[in-house]
């Protein structure tokens, strides 16, 4: 306001009040800082506390000088410097707080997989009870589309069960009487009667949750570079300020000169540049990452990503599209074969059915309505349509239906050996061809793997899938090392094994990856993945492409390099400025650095640091 233009006291008072508000709101820094000083373990908070408080107190002294008529003291007000440093360090603390919140988020997302209720079958009746009331030996009914409430064994019925939360495999698993089912998995298409085999606390899902909690608890926060440096820097600056003030008082007997030198040393060492070095670079780097579709949850994620030398990659949904597609149709009339297959698969929830129906949609086929499709357990489907008897399924079904597949058998078996799913089609007891279906490698996966290798990073596939399909995808992607048929709790152990000798990143998208994502030095989740994976990870790839893994690592290296540069210039400036503020030049007849110029030098160092950090905006993917 205009009323402050000529009223320097009023302007100073306004700055004093506003800065006091900022400092009171962020009083935790001062409490932590002085506790560190008392316990002889100064940290970044100590640096902020001493520097900003010294600048603030000297500014109050300068304000009293202005009120007494010394208008030159208006140049010695450092209220705004103190406020800005506290606010920016608060930003760095905010990033750390956001990182810590993920622990509860991951656990909450896992708990949501547990259904709240179960259908108890007792004395021929069905009744809904809370899942906590289920005990070992209880019979439960699971209907199509329901989550299986608890670990159990199938007593009656059969169904395809989606176990992707455990294995990551998009293909469902056929469950029959006598086979185990896992709590949290999904019954896709059949009524099951199951007998509970474990208490809630002992289930596979509960074990995964406890492993995630354990891994998160062990991941210690990485100390900031500035924190490590401040262990030496803070006591050194304090010692220089005190010794310089005492020596000048002894030499000149001038208490005003001694105070001026003491404050000049503290003001010029005020950690503006140091306080800005890390959070400013992280702020700009995180913003640039967001522009590139990469969400960095914390400063630790940025710091660690640049040190990665081994990357463990999940297969389904990470390297691959995550759902089966029809790769080829081997038939004399592929379109007609697709028409017949699509007719039978209408209404099915099976992923292979979805692949065939999606192919029909792409081809623009109009499929006829069909009243009844017979499901042949362990074989496939049979139905009558438009005067034809159609069968679709495995080799055994073809033999039982009188379809001669001998001519196509070598080709079908070769496809199966590569890890592909093969479905045969017969019409009116005549073999009409087969469909090769598989999860497909994402278009940019091979290029991304090659880029990681060029950066000196070793890619390793870690998957719950069958070794055949895992190795088939690995060959296409250019990955040499494959660890297949790995359960979720085992993935964390695999990460630990690699961490003995390497800095490890884990890239995944499924619930089954949560333990490994949390255990890894850097967990990287595909944005379209499960809530659990996203919550457990340190970095989220919003564009669903693992090419962004290499981009994230390169950006991390650029940010850390920028922080090192900022810290170098901050300390280079201090190594020159502090001796001058302590009166070294003045002792030899040179100028005495007043707090006014010390403040200007402090501001200049901050501008240099911010300008350097802003160069990160020019980073290109």
**Catalytic positions:** 314
Sort residue 324 into left (φ over 0), alpha (ψ -120 to 50) or beta: beta
H-run or E-run covering 145: none
Structure tokens at 590: 């040179």
CA–CA gap between residue 458 and residue 311 (Å, rounded): 6
CA–CA gap between residue 73 and residue 66 (Å, rounded): 6
- Say how far residue 313 (Cα) sits from the centre of its chain: 14
3-state secondary structure of 521: coil
CA–CA gap between residue 264 and residue 597 (Å, rounded): 9
**237 contacts: CB under 8 Å, gap ≥ 6:** 50, 265, 266, 269, 574, 578
Cβ contact 166:128 at 8 Å: no
Structure tokens at 459: 């890619």
- Identify which of 326, 317, 329 has the alpha carbon closest to the alpha carbon of residue 528: 317
Positive/negative CA dihedral, 349, 353, 359, 364: negative
Cβ contact 184:167 at 8 Å: no
CA–CA gap between residue 199 and residue 409 (Å, rounded): 47
Cβ contact 444:545 at 8 Å: yes
Burial 90-99 (b: 16+ CB within 10 A, else e): bebbebeeeb
């Amino acid at each position: 306001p205009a009323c402050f233009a000529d009223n320097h006291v009023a302007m100073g008072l306004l700055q004093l009040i506003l800065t006091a508000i900022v400092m009171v709101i962020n009083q935790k820094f001062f409490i932590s800082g002085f506790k560190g000083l008392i316990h002889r373990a100064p940290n970044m908070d100590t640096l902020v506390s001493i520097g900003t408080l010294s600048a603030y107190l000297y500014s109050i002294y300068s304000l009293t000088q202005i009120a007494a008529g010394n208008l030159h003291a208006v140049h010695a007000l450092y209220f705004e410097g103190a406020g800005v440093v506290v606010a920016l360090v608060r930003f760095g603390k905010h990033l750390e707080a956001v990182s810590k919140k993920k622990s509860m988020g991951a656990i909450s997302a896992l708990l949501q997989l547990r259904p709240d209720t179960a259908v108890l079958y007792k004395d021929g009746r069905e009744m809904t009870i809370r899942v906590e009331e289920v005990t070992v030996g209880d019979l439960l009914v699971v209907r199509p589309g329901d989550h299986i409430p608890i670990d159990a064994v199938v007593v009656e019925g059969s169904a395809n069960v989606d176990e992707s939360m455990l294995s990551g495999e998009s293909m469902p698993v056929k469950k029959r009487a006598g086979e185990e089912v896992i709590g949290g998995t999904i019954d896709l298409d059949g009524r099951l009667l199951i007998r509970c085999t474990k208490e809630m606390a002992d289930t596979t899902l509960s074990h995964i949750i406890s492993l995630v909690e354990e891994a998160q608890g062990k991941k210690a926060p990485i100390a900031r570079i500035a924190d490590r440096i401040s262990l030496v820097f803070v006591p050194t600056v304090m010692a220089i300020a005190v010794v310089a003030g005492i020596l000048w008082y002894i030499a000149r007997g001038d208490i005003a000169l001694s105070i001026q030198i003491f404050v000049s040393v503290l003001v010029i060492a005020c950690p503006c540049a140091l306080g800005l070095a890390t959070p400013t670079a992280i702020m700009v780097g995180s913003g640039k990452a967001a522009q590139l579709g990469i969400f960095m949850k914390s400063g630790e994620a940025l710091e660690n990503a640049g040190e990665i030398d081994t990357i463990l990659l999940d297969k389904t949904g990470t390297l691959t599209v995550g759902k089966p597609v029809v790769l080829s149709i081997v038939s004399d009339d592929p379109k007609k074969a697709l028409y017949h297959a699509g007719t039978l698969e209408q209404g099915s929830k099976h992923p292979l059915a979805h692949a065939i129906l999606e192919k029909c949609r792409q081809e623009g086929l109009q499929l006829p309505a069909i009243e009844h499709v017979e499901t042949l357990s362990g074989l496939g489907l049979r139905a009558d349509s438009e005067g034809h008897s159609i069968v679709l399924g495995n080799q055994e079904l073809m033999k039982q239906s009188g379809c001669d597949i001998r001519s196509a058998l070598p080709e079908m078996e070769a496809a199966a050996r590569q890890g592909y799913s093969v479905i045969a089609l017969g019409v009116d007891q005549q073999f009409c061809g087969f469909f090769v279906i598989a999860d497909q490698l994402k278009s940019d996966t091979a290029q991304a793997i090659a880029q990681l290798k060029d950066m000196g990073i070793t890619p390793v596939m870690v998957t719950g899938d069958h070794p055949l399909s895992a190795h088939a995808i690995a060959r296409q992607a250019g990955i040499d090392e494959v660890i297949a048929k790995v359960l979720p709790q085992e993935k964390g152990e695999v990460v630990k094994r690699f961490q003995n000798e390497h800095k490890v990143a884990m890239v995944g998208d499924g619930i089954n990856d949560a333990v490994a994502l949390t255990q890894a030095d850097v967990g990287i989740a595909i944005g379209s993945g499960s809530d659990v994976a996203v919550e457990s990870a340190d970095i989220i790839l919003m564009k669903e492409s693992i090419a962004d893994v290499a981009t994230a690592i390169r950006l991390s290296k650029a940010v850390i390099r920028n922080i090192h540069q900022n810290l170098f210039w901050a300390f280079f400036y201090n190594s020159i400025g502090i001796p001058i503020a302590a009166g070294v030049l003045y002792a030899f007849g040179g100028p005495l650095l007043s707090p006014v110029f010390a403040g200007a030098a402090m501001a200049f160092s901050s501008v240099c640091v911010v300008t350097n950090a802003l160069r990160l905006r020019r980073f290109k993917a």
